[in-house]
Chains A and B, each alone.
Chain A
Amino acid sequence: MPTIDQISESLFRETISRAVQDVFKTMLGKTATLDQTTESVVTEGAPWDHPVQITGQQVVGTVGFIGDISGLIYLYLEASFANDVASHMLGMSAAELEEAGDEVVNDAVGELTNMTVGTFKNQLADKGFPCKLTIPSILRGSNFSIEPISSATRRIYRFRIGEHQLVADLLMKTGDA
């Protein structure tokens, strides 16, 4: 049986890139390009020296995967980008979206995250790491940082989508799952 250590950095990068690109192309007709990668870090309790750098209001979607490999992915979208994504996916004008409220935007970002993490983990499942998705949840806020438990490996990928930025924060449980 393959172990998680056998998954190379480049495979993680390709897998997450393909997932983000596929979802944004299919659902929104947008092209995503990987801008920057911060590769595998296990801090063993020391403070993170590279938290996700964010500015302004954020809408963050998160979906986990549990099975032969376990972990979760946070997708960070600036609030204006989140609105943009929701109005595109739902075919609503900015005014209609305003009327529908933040809940609808949250749901759209949740679904976008669900699809992205699904595409990511389905590729890994086909490589011998079956796992299941969890139900999405959403965080909203500004000026915050998420710090996972010390035994997690963290990888951060920054994508450029038009004039917007998308950050994918991949946290994996290390060792035997």
Chain B
Amino acid sequence: MRYKILTVDDSKTVRIIVKKAFKTFDCDILEAANGVEGLASASKEAPDLILLDITMPVMDGVEMLTKLKSDPALKAIPVIMLTAEGGRDNVLKIAKIGVRDYIVKPFKEEMLIEKCGRILDLKPLNEGPQKAKSIFDPATILVVEDKPAIIQQIQEGLKHTPWKIHGVNTTGEGIDFCSKNTPDLIIISLSLPEEAAFTLFRLIRQNVKTKYTPIFALVVKTEMAAQQQAQQVGFSYIVTKPIEVPELESKIAKAMNLDTSQRYFTLDGDIFVMRLPENTSQTVVGEVLNYLKPKISEAVDTGIVKAVIDLHELKGLNMAVIKLLITAMQTCKDLALQFTLVGNTQIVSECKGFEDTRNWQFHESLADAKASFGRTPSQAQPAVA
């Protein structure tokens, strides 16, 4: 649901600042320049929250608030005062009429967001249309861990990715980092002293900016109690020490909702290439299977008629990989895509050992495979009876 926030202020400047502050959140800002306009807009639009100034011409904020609270249809709308009229007694008097919060100008945009975020479940808006970020896009990952060696291990292990791993040793530094930056993912070590990890988790979740940021817990494999607690609290994923970096990488990609398809599917000129990595684990097979049909259809849709299934990096075969390959070939056939295989000597010889793969024919290199398309289609297609 898209929230509606009504800002009632005679100053256009304040209304612009309010609009600017909420620009990156999923909400609409309605404007009114005095109490009369404010009441009209409140009745017509039924906003989810009203930000109300006091000193205004025509009808001031106190009068509008009083009228609002005496109208059964409007009195439930939460109101936050946003005004230069402060002073203890004044604030107390107005608070009694019924306001959810009172912000005395001058104010910072972050503070406004924070206070509104306590009343509305504000969601950050993704810039532009929902475009999945790819595995090749930069991202910022914050690691809060009191042992520098672990931070270093993560940084080292993920250094081939475009992700920037920012390591800090204390929760204080973590909070500081989050206030100045918006990390795409946060990893918190549960070994921080005095349950600090859980306190930090709560603080991050309370901040509107990081409310939906994936948070991983880092914990020793054998510490079952801590893992259970982290799961209950709502950590997005539990990473166990010793850290298995490829697993961590794939979980991060998944949590950030990254498009990893480019790892396996690329276009080489007018040829669609599906490439399996050296270590095609069960996780990888699952990922490839997810992308397989949409990616091949997408290629066919753009006019591609040739495909290469490149296995030259693959170390060995297993049933999952064979099933994946059969599905891939069947999909190509269904879409009338001309395809051929590339494999190393290990794969070629392993293929001889299985009934299903015995007749597969391979080219030695991608270049050979591409050249083969120049010949007649029957020669290019390996026998896949």
Residue pair B104, A122 in contact (C-beta under 8 Å): yes
Which chain B residue shows the least CB distance to A134?
B55
Residue pair B11, A90 in contact (C-beta under 8 Å): no
Judged by a CB distance under 8 angstroms, whether B87 is at the interface is yes
Pick from B12, B14, B17, B85: contact of A118, CB below 8 A. Answer: B85
Pick from B17, B89, B106: contact of A22, CB below 8 A. Answer: B106
Measured in the bound complex, the distance between the Cα atoms of B105 and A22 in whole Å is 10
CB contact under 8 A between A135 and B105, given known A111-B13, A118-B86: no
Measured in the bound complex, the distance between the Cα atoms of B84 and A22 in whole Å is 12
B residues in contact with A115, CB < 8 Å: 84, 105-106
- A sample of 8 cross-chain residue pairs with beta-carbon separation below 8 angstroms, ordered by A number, consists of A27-B106, A86-B13, A89-B17, A90-B16, A118-B85, A130-B90, A134-B55, A135-B56
Residue pair A125, B11 in contact (C-beta under 8 Å): no
Measured in the bound complex, the distance between the Cα atoms of B55 and A52 in whole Å is 28
Judged by a CB distance under 8 angstroms, whether A71 is at the interface is no
Q: Chain B residues in contact with chain A, CB under 8 A?
A: 10-14, 16-17, 20, 54-57, 83-90, 104-108
A residues in contact with B12, CB < 8 Å: 104, 107
Q: Across the A-B interface, how many residue pairs have beta carbons closer than 8 Å?
A: 73
Residue pair A133, B16 in contact (C-beta under 8 Å): no
Residue pair B88, A135 in contact (C-beta under 8 Å): no
A residues in contact with B17, CB < 8 Å: 89-90
Judged by a CB distance under 8 angstroms, whether A23 is at the interface is yes
Mask, A101-114, CB within 8 Å of B = 1, is 00010011011001
Residue pair A133, B20 in contact (C-beta under 8 Å): no
Measured in the bound complex, the distance between the Cα atoms of B69 and A117 in whole Å is 29
Pick from A90, A122, A135: contact of B87, CB below 8 A. Answer: A122
Measured in the bound complex, the distance between the Cα atoms of B104 and A125 in whole Å is 14
Which chain B residue shows the least CB distance to A25?
B106
Which chain A residue shows the least CB distance to B89?
A130
CB contact under 8 A between A114 and B84, given known A90-B20, A107-B13, A108-B13: yes
A residues in contact with B108, CB < 8 Å: 26
Measured in the bound complex, the distance between the Cα atoms of B280 and A36 in whole Å is 74
